[in-house]
Amino acid sequence: MAKRSSGILLFRRAAGGDLEVLLVHPGGPFWAKKDLGAWSIPKGEHDEGEDAQACAIREFTEETGSAPNPGELTDLGTVKLKSRKVVQAWALEGDLDASTVTSNTFSLQWPPRSGTFQDFPEVDRAEWFGLEEAAERINEAQAAFLERLRTRFG
């Protein structure tokens, strides 16, 4: 059975009415020097029987340090990553100061085989992007969420 993740694509309208989306960059040493194609929506794994929308809200809060603002979540469907993980996303209009994002952490043996464990943030930064730039930075499979957002709200 494929792993499942759920997340929220937070969006806002810029001064000219263009859509901007909040993306997060994964933390830890593997992602430290990766940029294009490395960004993601705030998301996380959940069990098959767990409520996916509740998971999306929980993971957004854990990865940004802020609960998503109240509002209607619009289903953007699912995508399948190269890892075969299935990601489901919801769009939510809102705002968040990206400079204040503080994520939960994970522990990793680093350097490898050193016996030393270090804590790293799941998300090391967040940023607002216009849809074109977001499409360059987001994980390739998740770019479909941007097109679905544009179709529904653009």
**CATH number, domain with residue 93:** 3.90.79.10
How far, CA to CA in Å, does 4 sit from each of 32, 60, 63, 146?
25, 15, 17, 19
Give phi and psi for 38, each to the nearest 5: -100, -20
What is residue 96's predicted lDDT score, i.e. its pLDDT? 96
What is residue 143's predicted lDDT score, i.e. its pLDDT? 98
Mean pLDDT of 16-22: 95
What is residue 94's predicted lDDT score, i.e. its pLDDT? 96
Number of compact structural domains in the chain: 1
Quick: pLDDT tens for 89-126: 999 999 999 999 999 999 999 989 999 999 999 999 99
What is residue 154's predicted lDDT score, i.e. its pLDDT? 85
63 pLDDT band, cuts 50/70/90, is very high
DSSP string, 89-137: EEEEE----GGG----EEEEESSTTSS-EEEEESEEEEEEEEHHHHHHH
**Domain housing 129:** 4-153
